Amino acid sequence: MALSVPPGHGKSYIAIKFSQWAYGQDVNNQIISVSYNEKQSTKFARGVRDGIMERSSSPTELTVYDIFPHVKIKRGDASVEAWSLEGRYMSYLATSFNATLTGNRGNIGIIDDPVKDHYEAFNEEALQTKYEWYNDTFLSRMVEGAIQIVIQTRWSTKDLIGRLLARFPDEWYELVLPACLDEKKEEMLCPELMSFERYMSLKNGDTSLPIFLANYQQECIDVQGRLYKNLKLYSDVPRDKQGDPAFDEIIAYIDTADQGNDYLCCIVSGVYKGELYILDVYYTKEGMEVTEPDTAKMLYRNKVNVAKFESNNGGRGFARNVERLLWENHKTKKVAVEWFHQSKKKITRIMVASTFVMEHVYFPEDWEVRFKEFAAAILSFQREGKNKKDDAPDTLTGLVEMVGSQKASIKLFKGGL
Query: In which band, very low, low, confident or very high, does the pLDDT at 385 lie, cut at 50, 70 and 90?
Result: low
Q: What is the pLDDT of residue 416?
A: 39
Q: Are residues 168 and 263 in the same domain?
A: no
Give the CATH number of the domain where residue 269 resides. Answer: 3.30.420.240
In tens, the pLDDT along 143-157 reads 999 999 999 888 888
208 part of a folded domain:
no
Q: Return the higher-pLDDT residue of 295 and 207.
A: 295
In this structure, which amino acid lies at residue 119?
A: Y
| End-of-domain residue from the set 143, 178, 213 | 178
- Reported pTM: 0.59
Q: Are residues 289 and 353 in the same domain?
A: yes
| Contact call for residues 307 and 314 (beta carbons, < 8 A) | no
Q: Are residues 269 and 384 in the same domain?
A: yes
In tens, the pLDDT along 269-289 reads 999 999 999 999 999 999 999
237 part of a folded domain:
yes
Query: In which band, very low, low, confident or very high, does the pLDDT at 408 lie, cut at 50, 70 and 90?
Result: very low
Q: Count Cα neighbours of 45 within 13 Å in the Cβ-side half-sphere.
A: 28
- Tell me the pLDDT of the chain averaged across its residues: 88
Which residues have CB under 8 Å from 60's CB, separation 6+? none
Mean pLDDT of the 179-205 span: 93
Q: Are residues 138 and 240 in the same domain?
A: no
Query: In which band, very low, low, confident or very high, does the pLDDT at 342 lie, cut at 50, 70 and 90?
Result: confident
195 part of a folded domain:
no
Q: Are residues 328 and 238 in the same domain?
A: yes
Q: What is the pLDDT of residue 211?
A: 79
**Dist CA 355 CA 193 (whole Å):** 41
Q: Are residues 274 and 394 in the same domain?
A: yes
Q: What is the pLDDT of residue 259?
A: 62
**Dist CA 396 CA 362 (whole Å):** 12
- Across-strand partners of 151? 3, 112
pLDDT exceeds cutoff 90 at 379: no
The length of the chain is 417
| Contact call for residues 319 and 308 (beta carbons, < 8 A) | no
- Percentage of residues of the chain with pLDDT beyond 70: 95
Least confident of 30-44, 206-220, 243-257, 291-305: 206-220
Q: Are residues 171 and 268 in the same domain?
A: no
Query: In which band, very low, low, confident or very high, does the pLDDT at 135 lie, cut at 50, 70 and 90?
Result: very high
212 part of a folded domain:
no
Q: What is the pLDDT of residue 415?
A: 38
378 part of a folded domain:
yes
223 part of a folded domain:
no
Q: Are residues 238 and 167 in the same domain?
A: no
Q: What is the pLDDT of residue 224?
A: 66
| End-of-domain residue from the set 178, 207, 223 | 178
In this structure, which amino acid lies at residue 79?
A: S
pLDDT exceeds cutoff 70 at 268: yes
Q: What is the pLDDT of residue 8?
A: 87
Give the CATH number of the domain where residue 39 resides. Answer: 3.40.50.300
Number of domain units in the chain: 2
The whole domain housing 125 covers 2-178
210 part of a folded domain:
no
Q: Are residues 126 and 14 in the same domain?
A: yes
Q: Are residues 166 and 98 in the same domain?
A: yes
Q: Are residues 269 and 357 in the same domain?
A: yes
